[in-house]
């Protein structure tokens, strides 16, 4: 069965510091991978996606993620965090069968 | 832009009632999904549908059923509402597995 693990429930970083949010997936074939962000009281917004090609994908708001098949990972990174990045981040996996599975999320707190 | 509309933002129902949550998308998407979102548990897939009248169980289908009679509409049914079904319910749609999902604003259901 497909699944997503986000091992960090809560992360706190200082504004201007770098960020890495971890995501590990389980899927039997080539996955399609996504990162979404949910700000308080807001809907889910897509940050970036991977479905083939270059394993380093760029997204909105300066985020990027790297697909590592050997590690079954799709970690999200940002070189310099802004206070407005405080939100909850969700990693998701799907494939040709269309079932879209999310992780439990990582809540990011940014200190000034 | 794609619009996914959920019929209610807030709903209060009594234990044992049959509850219908409606979701409509306006972009001819093949896939539609129902999730519930609870703190610390992320988005958990209840049911999804990849075509009219086709449905697949997600990870937590117990106590729920769905209906997709028309491509644009996907209904979630709580056969006999219970207090442990108090949650935020999110509907989503996507064109295909490799494409992003679009989410509705959610229905916050309280069962008393």
Interface contact B39, partner A, CB < 8 A: no
Q: Are A74 and A92 in contact (CB under 8 A)?
A: no
Q: Which residues on chain A are in Cβ contact (under 8 Å) with B98?
A: 32, 49, 51
Question: Parallel, antiparallel, or unpaired for β A10-14 and A56-58?
Answer: unpaired
- Residue A1 banded pLDDT, cuts 50, 70, 90: confident
Inspect the interface and report whether the beta carbons of A98 and B50 lie closer than 8 Å. yes
**Measured between CB atoms, does A100 come within 8 Å of chain B?**
yes
Decide if A90 touches B, using CB distance below 8 A.
Answer: yes
Residue A5 has pLDDT above 90, yes or no: yes
pLDDT 10s digits, B41-60: 999 999 999 999 899 999 99
Structure tokens at B77: 């049914």
* Letter string b/e over residues A19-56, b meaning 16 or more CB atoms within 10 A of that residue's CB: bebbbbbebeeebbbbbbbbeeeeebebbbbbbeeeee
**H helix or E strand, kind and range, residue A65:** strand A64-68
So what's the pLDDT on residue B17? 97
> From the CA of A25, how many Å to the nearest CA of chain B?
15
Taking only the tens place, the pLDDT of each residue in A28-71 is 888 999 999 999 888 899 999 998 888 999 999 999 999 999 99
Q: How high is the pLDDT of residue B70?
A: 96
pLDDT average, residue stretch A72-92: 97
pLDDT at B2 over 80: no
Query: What local confidence, expressed as pLDDT, does residue A97 receive?
Result: 73
Per 3-state DSSP, chain B is made up of helix, strand and coil in percentages (nearest 5) of 5, 55, 40
Chain A contact present for B106, CB below 8 A: yes
State the average pLDDT over residues B85-93.
97
Q: For residue B97, is pLDDT > 90?
A: no
pLDDT at A95 (0 to 100): 82
- Nearest CA distance, B41 vs chain A (angstrom): 5
């Amino acid at each position: 069965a497909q699944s997503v693990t986000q091992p960090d429930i809560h992360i706190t970083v200082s504004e201007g510091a770098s960020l890495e949010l971890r995501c590990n997936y389980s899927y039997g074939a080539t996955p399609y991978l996504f990162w979404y962000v949910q700000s308080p009281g807001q809907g889910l917004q897509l940050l970036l996606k991977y479905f083939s090609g270059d394993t380093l994908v760029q997204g909105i708001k300066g985020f990027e993620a790297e697909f590592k098949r050997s590690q079954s990972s799709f970690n999200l990174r940002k070189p310099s965090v802004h206070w407005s990045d405080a939100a909850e981040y969700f990693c998701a996996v799907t494939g040709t069968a269309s079932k879209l599975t999310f992780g439990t999320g990582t809540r990011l707190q940014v200190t000034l | 832009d794609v619009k996914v509309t959920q019929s209610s933002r807030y709903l209060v129902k009594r234990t044992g009632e049959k509850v219908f949550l409606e979701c409509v998308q306006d972009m001819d998407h093949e896939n539609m999904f129902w999730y519930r979102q609870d703190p610390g548990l992320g988005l958990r897939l209840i049911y999804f549908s990849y075509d009219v009248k086709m449905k697949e169980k997600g990870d937590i289908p117990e106590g729920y059923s769905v209906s997709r009679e028309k491509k644009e509409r996907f209904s979630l049914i709580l056969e006999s509402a219970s207090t442990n079904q108090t949650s935020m319910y999110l509907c989503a749609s996507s064109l295909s597995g490799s494409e992003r999902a679009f989410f509705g604003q959610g229905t916050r259901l309280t069962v008393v």
